[in-house]
Every structure is written in structure tokens, then in C-alpha cells.
Structure 1
Amino acid sequence: MLFLFPLAFVSCDLGGEHYSRYYDYVDIDELSIPDSAMTGDTVPVYARAGAPNGCWSELELYCYPYNDTLYLVNASGLYESYDGVCPEIYVTKDSTFRFIPDTAGIYIFAAQSRSKPVMFDTLVVMPER
């Protein structure tokens, strides 16, 4: 019986295993909006997010106003791994937001990423005729 006792401790040893789990920003790979629209039009704002490996999941995209004419687009996801081992796949998610301008003017959409420079796209909104 004393022979089996040390084996029980070795087989249950979890030392060396490192588990990571957190939410963080991911990159916006693409941002696309029409060049122009009229007030009251429904304008599609398309964005695609990407994360570098298969440890990322639950990607979510967001589009929200920063002020009257500047809108931010960003994305986050869940990173989860044991010992940093991740499948070598690129994880993506896309979304189309509906933007309905009620005032004529120039609207700027800024796509914020974790590791890429900010991407800008501009929408010119003309008054309804």
C-alpha cells in the first residue's frame, strides 16, 4: 500500500499548468460605410473584427457616439488558454450597424484596434430635399 501512495500524489500534481482567462480589445480589420447619405436615411456601418488565434472567442463589436459627429467602433473578446497553447486560426466576427443621421453634416467613424492604427471613414450627410 505504501507503494501506491506516492503515485497518487504525482498523478494529481497540477504544477506547471497556467490558466488565463480575460476580456480585452481586439483588432478591427475592416470598416465600411457609404460616402454620402440624406438625413433620415438608414446608413449601414459594416465592421469586421479579428483576433490572432483560437484562444479568442465571444467577439463582440460596438458602435457608439463619442460626440455629435464622431462615432467610435471597437471590439472585444474573451481570451482563454491553458499554458498559452492556442490553435493557429484567425477568429473573426462581423456586424452591420444601422446609423440614422438626423442632422446634415460630416460624420467621422473611427475604428479603434488593439494593435493597429485607428482607421477613419467619413460620411457626408446632406439635408433631405
Structure 2
Amino acid sequence: MSQHEDNPIRSLKDYLHPTRTTTPSCIMFLPNTPQFEFKPGMIQLLPSFHGLDNENPYVNIREFEEVVATFRSRADTTDTVRLKIFPFSVKDKAKSWLYSLSIGVAKGNSAISGTRIRC
């Protein structure tokens, strides 16, 4: 085999816009959305929801909102902070549920607190 068959010639565009290898998130932000700065220890403060039968998703959301209310910065809205940090609060079956949602379905507060969490 020649070297070109193993490594096909790629254009500059191919290098600047590589093929996405991961599934796009259901949570979408506008291009001008300010960056939220995660401080050390924030993720450990979040309640974890695993999607187990003995867990109450509404209690988890309430605890999540209480913790996230302490994270708010001047640049971000509460909804933006919630959406950016929500994926870190779900585990196991609940994380699978989040990944199963359609791309861009979560665009506001209703995406988190208004959605019934069923795993």
C-alpha cells in the first residue's frame, strides 16, 4: 500500500472542521451565550440523580435548583447556569435518558423543571 492510501489527502477545511465523533447534546446555547466559570468543588455540591425507582425526580430538581442558585454569576442567567451544569447532576439511567433526547430540545428552564424525568 502506498502512503496516500493509508493517509488520504485532506483539504484545509477538513482540518478546520473535523467530523464530529460524539453525539450532539440536547442542550443548545446561542453563540453569544456567556461562558460559565466552574469553580472547584461545584460539581461535588450537586445532588446526584440515577433514575432509580426509589428516587423522587422532583425532590432532586428542587435540591438541584437550591444548589445552582448559589452558582449564579452576573454574566449568566439562572436558566443558562442550570442548563450548563444539569448534565453533571444525572448518572446511570438518568444520564442515558438525557443522551436520548433530541438535539436542541433543551433551550430554556422548562427543559429541566418542566420535563417529567422517566428513565
The two structures have a TM-score, normalised by structure 2, of 0.23
Which structure would you say has the larger Rg? Answer: 1
Could you say which structure has the higher helix fraction? 2
* Structure that is richer in strand per residue: 1
